[in-house]
Each structure stands twice: as structure tokens, then as C-alpha cells.
Chains A and B, each alone.
Chain A
Amino acid sequence: MSNELIYGAYILIWPALTLGVLTVICGAVVRDARNARDSDEDLI
């Protein structure tokens, strides 16, 4: 693997990981909101 690829991956892995965590958190909040609405409770 070239140095450019390794160095680029080393920097870009963090925004990629951030995107993954953002997706997980947003998915969980949508599920929580749906459950709260179904059970007539507050989200927070």
C-alpha cells in the first residue's frame, strides 16, 4: 500500500467513524421517538 493511501486513510478514518456513530445515534433517537409516540409518553 502506498504511503499516500495509508496517510489519507489515517486522517479520513475519523470522519468516517463519526458518520457511523451519527447514524447509530440518529437511528436510536428515531426509534425512541416512535416508541414514545406509540406509548403516549414524552421523548425526554
Chain B
Amino acid sequence: MNENGFTQFSTLTVLLLLAAFYGGTYLLTLLIRKDKEDTSGFMVAGHHVGFGMGAASMTATWIWAASFYAAATSGYTYGVSGPIHYGLWGALMILFIYPFGRRFRKLAPNGHTLGELIHARHGASSQMILAISNILGSVISLMVNFTAAGALVSVLSPLSFEAGVLIAGVGVLAYTLTSGFRASVFTDFAQLVALMAIAIIIIPAVLFSAGGPEVMVQGLELMTDEQADLFSMDAILNQGAPFFVAVLAYAIGNQTISQRLFAVRESHIKSTFVTATLGYGAIVIGLGMIGLMALSVGMEPIDGKMNNLIPQMVSTYLSPVFVALFFVLVIGSLSSTADSDLSALSTIMMADVYGKNIARNNPNPKVMMLVGRITMIVATVAGLIFASFSLDILVMLVFVGALWGAIVFPVIVSCYWDRVTNAAFTWSVVVAMALFCIARFELLEMTGATVLVFEVLASVGGAVVIGLMVFGFLGRAAGLVAAALTLVAMLIFATGFLRDYMVLVASLTAYGASAAVCTAMTLMSNERFDFDLIKRRVGDYDDAEFEDSGSLVAEGAK
């Protein structure tokens, strides 16, 4: 133990653990390496990922280092219901996207990114809005994961924060660079098996080492009434509701999810995403229970930092072997997400930027692969630099979250309604972002009619979220009824009340404003789009003049 109460490994031990993890992962990728990588394999594994690999990859990708820390923080802060209000909504992000994913796949069976589909539907401006939001999200995710690696290494060993960041970045890049998405999925499986096995061992080990359920029950007396309540309104309003609002936005705005929707065999999309929902929920809620246990035994986080809770509990109650397992658990979770982000970024640059906008549907596969690999290297370097500077990403996160919220309605509705135009898509996002900024930063005085207007827009936003969720599973009529009922309920109960939660109002305004503008502009249009065109426009990188270029094969050439 060091003076802070954490188990302290020697530099050699940590280096050996990291070498074993990244070396082992690299060796695994040699098993699937091909002499002739093609663009389809590099971007979506040829659209033939099976159920097991797909579910493992989706689960591992969605679990990042912050998942454990935030779930434990939620358990410690909100008590009994805290871990559920973190893990459940994160899990539902995976579940609620799959009905729309099946539609995306039906429209563009050879697609690689959602941006390609939107390009085929609307054109470049809508596609680039989506691509930029995806790129920002993945770069932030990369940075956060590398930062987590640096923090963990510096807490548990004499190695510096920067050394941890560098090792994680180089390690992830080394095993992803050659085979791209195929390597990401294959290693995700191995990483998830390790991650799940460790979680299965650590959670009961901490529980019984800390005194078992009896001590936990006694700990209920240390909690406030809200913390001891499984249906705590405090937890619902402060932890659950903001996450609920983000359920669809995170799924639509994240290329790591859409990439897997295009990669898994079409018949396995439902089983893959339902299994990943259960897997994510079980692991994250389970590890969040360690935060609840910390609260129950009256532990105070070292230096007041909530991120110390899990390492502190593991160091306090378990032997160094378990701490080493925890170390592998966190490194595995952050690496699986980071490699997925690298694959996502490379695919966006290959398909959306180079394929659609630079090569204009006439890409040279050799150049395309080069673009993908250079993107991975540049993204890793950028992630390392940003992580080393420990930048404050809060503002960036706020904007990206709002952008994702603003594009949810236009993206989904563009895949079902043939009248939606490129102008409706683009302007709805622009107006929604402007109104979001006004509400989020209170650029206007939020009183009287002004705040009422935003509450009404937020109510529309709430109706959009519920309506789209119901629509995904039960169809248009049920979706419209659910949206109408939600709107009425929100207008009755939320006006005059929501203004006390301006962050929530701003998020919902992004949904509501984009839906209102997109719908209004669409209704004024007489255009009709033939959805069959998407199938013909997406994935067609084939071109005779490049068929024989080197050893690389464009997908469309097969």
C-alpha cells in the first residue's frame, strides 16, 4: 500500500502486466491477419460478423473505463438505486437502436457508416454534419480512455501519467492498424471474456471481504432516506432522466454502434443487440454495486475523488492479485473502446470523407486503405496529445451531446419519410443547435414568455424521445399516440417546473426544435424520394479502372 491507501505495484510488475495484455492482444490479431486486406473487411468485416463475436464486440465497445467509475459514483451518491440509474440507461442505448439499425441495414445492405446512408438520401451537407459529430465523439472517447490509462498507471505504480497514456495509445494502435475493424472485433471478444470473468470474481469477493450482506444491511442506517430508497426521485431526476434523454442520441451519434449494425449478419442484429444490452447492464450495474458497498461501509473517497472509489475498495478488502485483475479489467475495457474508436474514425475518413466527397464514389482501394491507416495514426497521436494536456472536455462534450440530440429526429425520419429534404435536415440541426446554446448558456433572460417557449420546445423534445422509442418497436401509430400523450403530459406537468432544470431543458430543446423545423420544412416540400436509390448508391466503391490496383480489392469489385 502507498501513503494514499492504494496497493502499489513496482514499475516492473505494471510493465509486465501491460506487456502481457497488449502483447497477447497483438499476437491474437496475427491469427486473423490476411495478406490481402480488402476495404470491406477493414471497415465492417465483410458484413459477416456472427452473433457471438458481434454481441461480445458491442458489449466490450460500449463499456469504457468511465463506465465503472461513473456507475460506482452513482451507487455511492444515490445509494441503492444509483448503479441501476447509470447502467440501465446505458444498456438501453444499445437496445433502442436495433429496430432502427435493421431499417438502416435494409436501406443500405452494403453500407459502412450512417453518413454514407444519409449522403445517399440527402447529399453532402447532411452527411458531413453526421460525420463531424461522429468524429468529435470518437476523438473525445479516445482521449478519455487514454487519460484513464494514464491515471490508473500513475495511481498503482511509480510510472508517470504520461507513460501510462503513451503505452495505452501505442498498444491499441499496434494491434488495430493492420486489420482494422476485424482486429477490433476479434480482440473485443477476448477482452470481454477477461473483463466478464474478472467482474464475476471481483464483485462477490469485495462483498464478502467487506463483511457480507449483513454488514451491508447495517450500512443502510448510514444512508439518507433517498439513498436507501430503491425508487428514489433524487436518483431518477438527477441521474436517470438526463441519461434517458440521451438514450437515442448516443446510439445515433456513435459510429462504433452503427459500424456494428452494418457488420453483424443481418439476421443476427436483434439477438446481438439484445445480448449486448444484457451484458453491458449486468457488468456495469454489478461494478456500480462496489460504490454502493463503499457507501454502506462508510468509506470516504481519497482526496474526495469519486474515481478512487473502486481502486480504494479493491485495495482495502482484497489481495494484490485482485488489484492486478482489476488493473487488467480497466485496461481491457478502455482498450476495447479505444480500438473501436480508431476503427470508427478510419471508416468515416475512408467512406464518408475520401470515398464520397474526395473520390466522388470512385475511390482507389489502395488509397482508401492508406487513408484508413493514416487516420488511425493521426487519431492516436491527437488522442495522446489531448490526454497528456489533461484538457477540460466538458464544453466539447456539451456541444457534441447537443449535436447528437439535434440529429436524432432528422436521421431517423429521413429513413422512413420520403418527403424529408436535405434543407429540412440541415436547417433543423442548425436551428436546434442555436436554440440549444440559448437555453444551455441562458443567453436570453429565462423568464416570462421566453422560458415558457423553451419549456414548450422541451416538451416537444420529450414527446419526440418517447415517440421514437415506441415507434422503433411498435410502429408508426403507436409512436404517434405515445408522442401525443407525452406532449400533453409534459405541457401540463412540466411547464413552470422544467425551468429549474435548464440543462435538461436545453437537451430536450435540441430534440424538440430539430423535430419541429424538420417536420415543418418537410410538410412544405413536394419532393418524393425513392428509397431503393440508397441501396444502389451506398457501398458502390467498385470501379473498373481500379480493379487491378495492387493486392487490394474494393468491396464493390467482389
Question: Considering only CB atoms, which chain A residue lies closest to B279 in the complex?
Answer: A21
Q: By the criterion CB–CB under 8 Å, are A18 and B217 in contact? A: no
Q: By the criterion CB–CB under 8 Å, are A14 and B217 in contact? A: no
Task: Please give the number of chain A residues whose Cβ is less than 8 angstroms from any Cβ of chain B in the complex.
Answer: 28
> Measured between C-beta atoms, what is the minimum distance from B327 to chain A in Å?
19
CB-contacts of B131-189 with A (<8 A): 182, 185-186, 189
Task: Please give the number of chain B residues whose Cβ is less than 8 angstroms from any Cβ of chain A in the complex.
Answer: 40
Contacts of A15 in B (CB 8 A): 199-200, 203-204, 282, 286
Contacts of B283 in A (CB 8 A): 14, 18
> Measured between C-beta atoms, what is the minimum distance from A42 to chain B in Å?
7
CB-contacts of A1-44 with B (<8 A): 3-5, 7-8, 10-12, 14-15, 17-22, 24-32, 42-44
Contacts of B216 in A (CB 8 A): 4, 7-8, 11
Contacts of B50 in A (CB 8 A): 28-29, 32, 43
Contacts of A10 in B (CB 8 A): 80
Q: By the criterion CB–CB under 8 Å, are A28 and B213 in contact? A: no
A13 to B289, CA, bound (A): 11
Contacts of A31 in B (CB 8 A): 52
Question: Considering only CB atoms, which chain B residue lies closest to A28 in the complex?
Answer: B52
Question: Considering only CB atoms, which chain A residue lies closest to B49 in the complex?
Answer: A44
Q: By the criterion CB–CB under 8 Å, are B45 and A29 in contact? A: no
Q: A17-B282, A21-B278 are in contact. Are A11 and B289 (CB under 8 A)?
A: yes
Q: By the criterion CB–CB under 8 Å, are B282 and A14 in contact? A: yes
Q: By the criterion CB–CB under 8 Å, are B285 and A14 in contact? A: yes
A12 to B202, CA, bound (A): 11
Q: By the criterion CB–CB under 8 Å, are B49 and A7 in contact? A: no
Contacts of A20 in B (CB 8 A): 278, 282
Q: A25-B279, A44-B182 are in contact. Are A14 and B53 (CB under 8 A)?
A: no
Interface majority SS (helix, strand, loop, mixed), chain A: helix
Q: Does B207 contact A (CB under 8 A)?
A: yes
Q: By the criterion CB–CB under 8 Å, are A27 and B49 in contact? A: no
Q: By the criterion CB–CB under 8 Å, are A3 and B217 in contact? A: yes
Contacts of B204 in A (CB 8 A): 12, 15
Q: By the criterion CB–CB under 8 Å, are A25 and B213 in contact? A: no
Q: A3-B217, A29-B53 are in contact. Are A11 and B197 (CB under 8 A)?
A: no
Q: By the criterion CB–CB under 8 Å, are A11 and B278 in contact? A: no
Question: Considering only CB atoms, which chain A residue lies closest to B51 in the complex?
Answer: A28
Q: Does B397 contact A (CB under 8 A)?
A: no
Q: By the criterion CB–CB under 8 Å, are B53 and A44 in contact? A: yes
Q: Does B193 contact A (CB under 8 A)?
A: yes
Q: By the criterion CB–CB under 8 Å, are B275 and A14 in contact? A: no
Q: By the criterion CB–CB under 8 Å, are B196 and A22 in contact? A: yes
Q: Does B55 contact A (CB under 8 A)?
A: yes
Q: Does B293 contact A (CB under 8 A)?
A: yes
Q: By the criterion CB–CB under 8 Å, are B55 and A25 in contact? A: yes
Chain B 75-88 interface mask (CB, 8 Å, partner A; 1/0) = 00000100000000
Q: By the criterion CB–CB under 8 Å, are B203 and A25 in contact? A: no
Q: By the criterion CB–CB under 8 Å, are B199 and A25 in contact? A: no
Q: By the criterion CB–CB under 8 Å, are A25 and B52 in contact? A: yes
Q: By the criterion CB–CB under 8 Å, are B51 and A14 in contact? A: no
Q: A17-B278, A32-B53, A44-B185 are in contact. Are A7 and B289 (CB under 8 A)?
A: no
Q: Does B520 contact A (CB under 8 A)?
A: no
CB-contacts of B44-100 with A (<8 A): 45, 49-53, 55-56, 59, 80
> Measured between C-beta atoms, what is the minimum distance from A23 to chain B in Å?
10
Chain B 197-234 interface mask (CB, 8 Å, partner A; 1/0) = 10110011001000011101100000000000000000
Contacts of B285 in A (CB 8 A): 14
Q: By the criterion CB–CB under 8 Å, are A43 and B275 in contact? A: no
Q: Does B292 contact A (CB under 8 A)?
A: yes
Q: A19-B200, A22-B193, A44-B32 are in contact. Are A11 and B282 (CB under 8 A)?
A: no
Question: Considering only CB atoms, which chain A residue lies closest to B285 in the complex?
Answer: A14
Contacts of B483 in A (CB 8 A): none
> Measured between C-beta atoms, what is the minimum distance from A4 to chain B in Å?
4
Chain B 245-281 interface mask (CB, 8 Å, partner A; 1/0) = 0000000000000000000000000000001001101
Question: Considering only CB atoms, which chain A residue lies closest to B293 in the complex?
Answer: A11
Q: Does B192 contact A (CB under 8 A)?
A: yes
Q: A17-B278, A21-B275 are in contact. Are A28 and B55 (CB under 8 A)?
A: yes
> Measured between C-beta atoms, what is the minimum distance from B316 to chain A in Å?
17
Contacts of A12 in B (CB 8 A): 203-204, 207
The 10 lowest CB-CB distance pairs between A and B, nearest first, are: A28-B52, A14-B286, A8-B213, A29-B52, A32-B50, A17-B282, A21-B279, A4-B213, A18-B282, A22-B196
Excluding A14-B286, A18-B279, 18 further A-B contacts by CB distance (< 8 Å) are A7-B213, A8-B212, A10-B80, A11-B207, A12-B203, A14-B203, A15-B282, A17-B278, A18-B199, A22-B200, A25-B193, A28-B55, A30-B52, A32-B52, A43-B32, A44-B49, A44-B53, A44-B185
Selected A-B contacts with CB under 8 Å, 10 pairs: A5-B213, A7-B213, A11-B213, A11-B289, A15-B199, A18-B282, A21-B278, A24-B52, A25-B55, A29-B53
